[in-house]
Amino acid sequence: MAFYITTPIYYVNAEPHLGHAYTTVVADVVARLKRLQGEEVFFLTGTDEHGDKIVRAARTAGLSPREYVDRMAERFRQTWPLLHIQYSRFIRTTEPYHQRLVQQVLAQLYEKGELTFGEYEGLYCFGCERFLTPKELVDGCCPDHHTPPTPLKEANYFFDLSRHQEWLLDHLRRHPDFIQPSGYREEVLGLLREPLEPLCISRPKSRLSWGIEFPFDPRFVTYVWFDALLNYLSGIGYPEDPSWQKWWAAAEHVIAKDILKPHAVYWPIMLRAMGLPPYRRLHVHGYWNLHEAKMSKSLGNVVRPEVLVSRYGADRVRYFLLREMAFGQDAEFSEEALVLRTNAELANDLGNLVFRTLSMVKKYFQGQVPEPGREFPGDRELAQGILSRIRNYFEEMGEFRFHRGLAALNEAVNLANRYVDREAPWELKKKGELERLSRVLYQLLEGLRVLAVALSPVMPRSAEILLQNLGLSPEEELSVEAALTWGRLRPGTPVERGPVLFPRLERPIQEASKSSPEEKTGQELYPLEEFKKWDLRVGEVVAAERVPGTDRLLKLTVRCPEERTLVAGIAEHYRPEELVGKKVVLVANLRPARIRGVLSEGMILAAKGSSGLKLVVPEGEVEPGAEVG
């Protein structure tokens, strides 16, 4: 069986970040799972290198577009091996083969009458590389880039999406798992309720030259999305390499939710217009939030994959990414969470199980796999318990529910740890029950073996080390079959204890991301230092009078201990005469502001209760100027 999986090709206007890493790790894990199942896998990733934003990023970097994309593509290409990503091919949209295919497809669609040429007038945002509708504008500016759009009138080529809209709707209805998780399918169905606008797929060279030239009209280059999506075909050699058919029939895309529309609407319709079947499935994941800020490539708020790997190791990072995020939903990323999670599940539970088991084998059986011997009550339960969790794991992983799959595996680890505790091999040794001891350790070694095989797609390096320590050859052992068969270890095989697999991290290594934690309330939290910036003091009101012409304002003279004037909006709640002599709390280092002609050098604190405004006052006798904090 063939299996074809893709990541999006990443737009090279920014460095690789956590979001790219997650998508790519997901694709890699699925690819490895399929290989474990004996399937033939093609895993495609790469870079998207055309468009206006690239030109501008290149200019900023002081490079030509060509130099710039070469450099950035290399950055991506070098990042993935660090994360143990094993792709089949890395495609770049600037490759001649890809460019030829795009031109070929444009020519084909043009001949088939799928494309129309027309004039369009509108407001263009260079940041978005698209025209905006007047309704989208916020204060006359682009809602995303906060810059005013430029009025432009141009002739362009359009792709009439609505012609295939009914077909797509029908396809979606007939294939409930075409887009998943289902929430995103619903979203696309919603999109298709309204007629689709024609998609403008050209850009005049006068405005943008960094793109693929239209084959039948050299005045234009191709819109980046139209160009980019076709990588999924050019990457497998369509149409020249005949093996493309085998792969295409099994195509599954992994994307983040921000590019749902191009993948769920434009792309299937493009394929339809080309006379090709749609891909098989589209898997959509959410965002990693760094506290509150979104992981967006436009914001500088990114976590560098290579930094994480250097701090925590690829396997830990891969495990955490899959375990922490419910695929499809957003999740929060922090290094603290990474440390907590991997300490608990990898160091304490799994790693410790490995180490204690191998230690006992070393100590009690001179480092050789003991004889399984006779089965006792509890032995079969352990084996069946672990195997059923592993079956469950494979099921969940196959459906992209990685967090649940790994939870199932943790249950298996837990079963084994309980088994150790219940059987207490050290007691058996003491009592000289060697036959029993032998069986117990054999059971545990088998547990480690099947766990290692099952985990290999997620943590390939750790799995390999573990299998080697068990005296096995990873190449021979890596199959789903081996993970689901109990009793493959041969007695007498030498095993190594090896170093601790997942050393416990004492405390989170300093945060890579610098931003303030926020509570569920959405309220931003600040360190104490932040509060200390405010000079809060006790002041005594020495004079008070109404500000002429206002209902709410009082002009106060306050001693704190120097005298200063300030304006307070409390006239509706306090009469001037009742304030004189009162001790109040004021903010003494506010930038002075002129209010109604009066210079206000501070602000008085008051509580806004249901029964009106109440001044905040010190509870007892305090001298003016006393610090509050």
| Number of other CB atoms surrounding residue 310 within 10 Å | 11
Closest approach, Cβ 208 to RNA, in A, equals 23
Q: Does the protein bind RNA through residue 106 (CB under 7 A)? A: no
Residue closer to RNA (CB basis): 231 or 352: 352
Strand 606-609 and strand 612-615: the pairing is: antiparallel
Is 520 considered catalytic here? no
Q: Does the protein bind RNA through residue 502 (CB under 7 A)? A: yes
Q: Which stretch binds RNA (CB under 7 A): 77-85, 102-110, 206-214, 323-331?
A: 323-331
Is 20 considered catalytic here? yes
Q: Does the protein bind RNA through residue 11 (CB under 7 A)? A: no
Build a one-symbol-per-residue string for 238-267: x at contacts with RNA by CB under 7 A, - elsewhere.
-------------------xx--x------
Q: What is the enclosing helix (H) or strand (E) of 288?
A: strand 288-289
- How many residues bind RNA (CB under 7 A)? The answer is 49
- Who's near 439: CB < 8 A, 6+ residues apart? 370, 371, 372, 373, 374, 375, 376, 379
Q: Does the protein bind RNA through residue 520 (CB under 7 A)? A: yes
Q: Does the protein bind RNA through residue 352 (CB under 7 A)? A: yes
Q: Does the protein bind RNA through residue 344 (CB under 7 A)? A: yes
Q: Which of 20, 84, 263, 283 is catalytic?
A: 20
Residue closer to RNA (CB basis): 426 or 531: 426
Closest approach, Cβ 402 to RNA, in A, equals 13
Residue closer to RNA (CB basis): 507 or 594: 507
Contact 102, 95 (CB under 8 A): no
Helices (H), 432-469: 434-455, 460-469
Query: Dihedral angle at the C-alpha atoms of 31, 395, 406, 306, nearest 10 degrees?
Result: 10
Q: Which of 294, 403, 429, 582 is catalytic?
A: 294
Q: Does the protein bind RNA through residue 366 (CB under 7 A)? A: no
Burial degree of 4 (CB within 10 A; 0-12, 13-18, 19+) = buried
Give dist(CA 67, CA 352) in Å, integer.
Answer: 49
Closest approach, Cβ 1 to RNA, in A, equals 30
Q: Which residues, numbered 110-139, are part of the site for RNA (CB under 7 A)?
A: 133, 135-136
- Which CA distances in Å does 330 have to 24, 352, 450, 547? 17, 31, 31, 52
Give dist(CA 32, CA 39) in Å, integer.
Answer: 9
Q: Which of 34, 53, 98, 142 is catalytic?
A: 142
- Who's near 520: CB < 8 A, 6+ residues apart? none
Give dist(CA 483, CA 426) in Å, integer.
Answer: 28
Is 555 considered catalytic here? no
Is 125 considered catalytic here? yes
C-alpha Rg value of the chain to the nearest Å: 33
Q: Does the protein bind RNA through residue 500 (CB under 7 A)? A: yes
Applying CB under 7 A, which of residues 426, 526, 531, 534 lies at the interface with RNA? 426
Q: Which of 17, 34, 50, 253 is catalytic?
A: 17
Contact 139, 103 (CB under 8 A): no
Is 297 considered catalytic here? yes
Q: Does the protein bind RNA through residue 331 (CB under 7 A)? A: yes
Is 141 considered catalytic here? no
Residue closer to RNA (CB basis): 61 or 344: 344
Give dist(CA 617, CA 62) in Å, integer.
Answer: 60
Q: Does the protein bind RNA through residue 305 (CB under 7 A)? A: no
Q: Does the protein bind RNA through residue 349 (CB under 7 A)? A: yes
Q: Which of 263, 297, 555, 583 is catalytic?
A: 297
Closest approach, Cβ 420 to RNA, in A, equals 5
4: left (phi over 0), alpha (psi -120 to 50) or beta: beta
Q: What is the enclosing helix (H) or strand (E) of 312?
A: helix 305-312
Q: Does the protein bind RNA through residue 340 (CB under 7 A)? A: yes
Q: Does the protein bind RNA through residue 332 (CB under 7 A)? A: yes
Applying CB under 7 A, which of residues 236, 347, 450, 482 lies at the interface with RNA? 347
What residue has token string 């890809």?
A: 98
Bridge partners (DSSP) of residue 92 are: 47
Q: What is the enclosing helix (H) or strand (E) of 365?
A: helix 352-365
Residues in the chain: 629
- Which CA distances in Å does 230 have to 76, 225, 523? 20, 9, 44
Say what angle helices 305-312 and 335-342 make with each other, to 10 degrees: 40
Residue closer to RNA (CB basis): 495 or 585: 495
Q: Which stretch binds RNA (CB under 7 A): 355-363, 391-399, 446-454, 600-608?
A: 355-363
The set of catalytic residues is: 17, 20, 125, 128, 142, 145, 294, 297
For binding to RNA (CB under 7 A), which residues are involved? 133, 135-136, 183, 186-187, 190-191, 194, 197, 257-258, 261, 326, 329, 331-332, 340, 343-344, 347-352, 354-356, 359-360, 363, 414, 417-418, 420-421, 424-427, 500-504, 519-520, 522
